[in-house]
Amino acid sequence: MRVTVPAWGLVRVREGEPDLLSAFADVRAQMVLRGTGVVVWEDNEDVTNPERLPLEAFTKDREFTRHELTEVLERAGQRLASELLYARGAGR
Amino acid sequence: MRHAAFAILLVLSAFLTSGCRSGSSGLDVRYPEAGANRAMLAFVAPRRIEVSAVTDRRMDMSRIGYKPKSRANIVTARPVTDIVREALAVELNTNGHTVVADTRDAVLVAAVEEFWLDVVVGYSTTQYVGKVAIALAVADGRSGDTLVTRRYVGIKRRQADADTESAWREVMDAALARTMHDLATDPEVVAALGRVPSTGPPR
């Protein structure tokens, strides 16, 4: 399984006073047969944390920001796993 | 006078409870049967499952978002509770179970906690973030005992060039589909359904 993370960080998800941001990760996965290199499954997922907070919440607390950024990667892993299982059910 | 007041009240309440139809036809958000697969939910022998009426627990039940410039409401063509109930039925049917109203093995009790679309206008593109959050309980059909409670949050983020209704709908469709896929691959729900004995005739 090849997993890549082309983009990862914070994204503005709601306009307002103040704007609200969430941690996000764009991830790509490929399941490749060893030897032949044939790709048997691939998926791209945009993953966004449900928490929406002002920029200040992230800039003021580095530990919290680290936690949010780590959590969104974990969420991305779960999302990929969920879609892999779902696709396998269809024989894809 | 009282009749007129009653009529106005009736119209207003119908308008509010629908949670939609504010001057436009509304978004036809749905979970298409063609997009559903047999997944881990199909590992359980077929069950007769009642999907009880879905509760609306959203903070704002009158809309699912608003247009960034005009701030006009974005609404769905059907109540979000109907959209979610239909999606649950599609997922269960696709996985070999039968959605029933009586003689049930299990009951799904669901509530819509969020069903929201954010539109963020950038310099050259517009970003859409759709979010669907569903609380779900699986109960034993005979005893009524709750076997498991779960919460699914589906979020879809997409950049598009123009602010179009098709982009809104696609984002909300994808967010809803993610909640259904998470449900269909949830080992705790699969285990809970596996624990309830089947009451119906073999299919």
Q: What is the per-residue pLDDT across B11-65, written as a single tens digit (0 to 9) for each?
A: 444 444 444 444 457 999 999 888 899 999 999 999 999 999 999 999 999 999 9
Distance from CA of A84 to the nearest CA of B (A): 10
Q: Tell me A35's DSSP state.
A: T
Q: Does A75 touch chain B (CB under 8 A)?
A: no
- Calculated CA dihedral for residues B15, B173, B86, B82, nearest 10 degrees: -10
Is B55 in a helix, a strand, or coil? strand
Which residue range(s) make up the domain with B60? 2-195
Percentage of the residues of chain A whose pLDDT score is greater than 90: 86
Q: Does A87 touch chain B (CB under 8 A)?
A: yes
Best of A52, A72, A78, A82 to disrupt the B interface (most B CBs within 10 Å) is A82
pTM assigned to the model? 0.88
Q: Does A71 touch chain B (CB under 8 A)?
A: no
B175 lies in a domain? yes
Q: Does A90 touch chain B (CB under 8 A)?
A: yes
DSSP string computed for B126-154: EEEEEEEEEEEEEEETTT--EEEEEEEEE
Q: Does A83 touch chain B (CB under 8 A)?
A: yes
**Model confidence over A39-78: pLDDT tens digits?**
999 999 999 999 999 999 999 999 999 999 999 999 999 9
- Check A12 against B127: CB less than 8 A apart: yes
B201 lies in a domain? no
What is the value of ipTM here, to two decimals?
A: 0.91
Q: How many domains does chain B have?
A: 1
pLDDT for position A90: 56
Tokens of A77: 């892993």
pLDDT for position B36: 92
Question: Which residue stretches of chain A are H helix?
Answer: 55-60, 62-89
The partner residues of B187 in beta bridges, in order of sequence, read: none
CATH number, position B98: 3.40.50.10610
